[in-house]
Amino acid sequence: MALRRKRRPHFNARREYLHWIKDKTGDWGTWEPGDLVELGDIGYFQPTNHFVTLYSQAEPLQITPQASRGTNVTGRQYSYGTFKKWEVNLVAKAAQITNSTEKAFLYCLSQGRKEGLANETAILEAARDAVASGDWGLDWVIVAERTTANHGFALKFDTKNSTAVFGFDAARLAPGIDPTLATLTKADISFQFSSGSVTEFPLTKGNTPTFDRTWHLSLQTANQLYGTGADVRRVPRGDRRFRPGHSSLSEADVLSMDPRRLFQLSDEMW
């Protein structure tokens, strides 16, 4: 009997990257990492953790999102896969790294800013009213917090033994500090060039590499709003709306709810 060659599992780079970012940072990631996500954006998540924007900046709610003052973010670095070689030349202000696994990622955010919705309550109240009027998709999500980049990059290594070369600001490296990838991330590390197969996603000013604080309905609440004991996940996306005639809740019931009890911040997307 001829032996059948075992098929290698398919590697979905977008899925792996987005799940890895969520696991490492606790935030949702964007793909490509430079994609823009605005405060108040409304959309839904695919099973890969990819966020699909339907409306920008709370457009259907007719209320303008207002950003909080925010906080600075510096020196965030995460890696996926195994890297076998790390070399630094302080005189040349250069460093390089080589991966030893077929697939690997690097995420380095030297400078960024995290901001949230200053008028979050007003937007949630408007979303609750939209649920009650049947103008809200029961699987929709509101983005209430995001991190914007000023300087950084994400790298995808597609083959073994690929090498990425970086530059950095040696003046920002404190004396006596070991020049690791983590410490160089605080010294404005930047991707220069590569050998092998390496894809760069620049994180330039205004990009949104991660976002968080995503308000949405729980599956239990969505099923109750849709009514008739149906699993709303089996309903076509465009038909996932509140149906007062089929639900145990009336429009007045929904309008009387505290929006922070109607919506939740759980990471359990459905």
H/E/C letters for each residue in 143-187? EEEEEEEEEEEEEEECCCCCEEEEECCHHHCCCCCCCCHHHHHCC
Q: State the Cα–Cα distance between residues 216 and 140, nearest whole angstrom.
A: 6
Q: What residues contact residue 192 under an 8 Å CB cut-off, 6+ apart?
A: 94, 165, 166, 167
pLDDT digits (tens, 9 = 90+) for 26-82: 999 998 766 789 999 999 999 899 999 999 999 999 999 999 989 999 999 999 999
pLDDT at 34: 66
pLDDT digits (tens, 9 = 90+) for 128-159: 999 999 999 999 999 999 999 999 999 999 99
> What is the CA angle 47-38-110, rounded to 5?
90
* Contact (CB, 8 A) for 20 and 26: no
- Closest of 101, 108, 96 to residue 82, by C-alpha: 101
Q: State the Cα–Cα distance between residues 96 and 87, nearest whole angstrom.
A: 5
CB atoms within 10 A of CB 176: 5
pLDDT digits (tens, 9 = 90+) for 88-121: 999 999 999 999 998 899 999 999 999 999 999 9
Considering the chain, what is the average pLDDT of its residues?
Answer: 91
Q: What b/e readout covers 60-88, taking b as 16+ CB neighbours within 10 angstroms? A: ebebebebeebeebebbbbbbbebeeeeb
Q: State the Cα–Cα distance between residues 34 and 32, nearest whole angstrom.
A: 5
pLDDT at 33: 66
pLDDT at 6: 44
| HSE-up (13 A, CA, CB side) for residue 249 | 23
pLDDT at 257 over 70: yes
* Contact (CB, 8 A) for 189 and 110: yes
